[in-house]
Amino acid sequence: MTGVSDTPDYLDRAARPRIAYRFVAGAGTTIIFLPGYMSDMGGGKATALFDWAAAEGLACLLLDYAGCGLSDGLFAEQTLPDWRGDVLDLIDAKVEGPVVLVGSSMGGWLMLLTALALVQRDGPARVAGLVGIAAAPDFTDWGFTPEEKAIILAEGELREETSYSDQPYVTTRAFWQSGEANGLLGDVIALTCPVRLLHGEEDGDVPSTISLRLSAALASDDVQVTLVKGGDHRLSRDGDIALLIDTVARLATR
């Protein structure tokens, strides 16, 4: 079996940094995992999903956005559209046919932006389904206080201590402005594919109400929100990961 611990491959591009990725070929729909802010493809959810897909003979793609993990580039120079472009470049290079996009936290925002771009370019059949894990669209709007937004605009960045890393979270003015320019929750999100939204009831970073707002904004009639009792933002307990795999499996093999 091809494991996620193997040496990654790289996609070279003329105008953008080299991207690290891991891909296992398989039958049917390709599963693509999009990590969260300042996260990478080495996390527990991504690893478990990749290893399960490989064992089941399903295609799966993991990646590190530019400036993250094993990819080239500077994190502070990236914007939301830059990272959407990273995902689309890898899809164009490695994936044929329909995809199921799985987005964790900020990756849930990129999941939606990527799906919209694919549908507009290739048609609705290109996106077989979406699975959000504490999806955080529009977090540049609701995720910062007015004082924090003022610091970002005045000083060019905001640094915050986080329990998820020994490095501070850095939000640059360019990233924040790109987020404000790509908000989704204020209008109908023109996606009609099946969507599954998993959210921990005890998520202290992304309120579960965001998944409810997202459900209401989506044009799709096939949207389900699952609130996980005792679940935190990571949703990385054994039971949480089993729920994730079962949810993805139902969309990828339907």
* Residues labelled catalytic: 105, 203, 233
- Please state whether beta strands 169-172 and 157-160 pair in parallel, antiparallel, or not at all (unpaired): antiparallel
Residue 31: count of CB within 10 angstroms of its CB: 29
Distance CA 69, CA 178 (A): 21
Tokens coding 76: 């502070």
> Are 132 and 195 in contact, with CB atoms under 8 Å apart?
yes
Distances (CA, A) of 4 to 8, 23, 41, 155, 172: 8, 9, 8, 39, 31
The number of angstroms, rounded, from the C-alpha of 22 to the middle of its chain's C-alpha atoms is 16
Helix (H, G, I), strand (E, B) or coil at 252: helix
What b/e sequence results for 65-80 when a residue is b if at least 16 CB atoms lie within 10 Å of its CB, and e otherwise? bbbbbbbebebeebbb
DSSP 168-232: -EEEEHHHHHHHHHT--TTS-B---S-EEEEEETT-SSS-HHHHHHHHHHB--S-EEEEEETT--
DSSP 92-111: HHH--S-EEEEEETHHHHHH
59: left (phi over 0), alpha (psi -120 to 50) or beta: beta
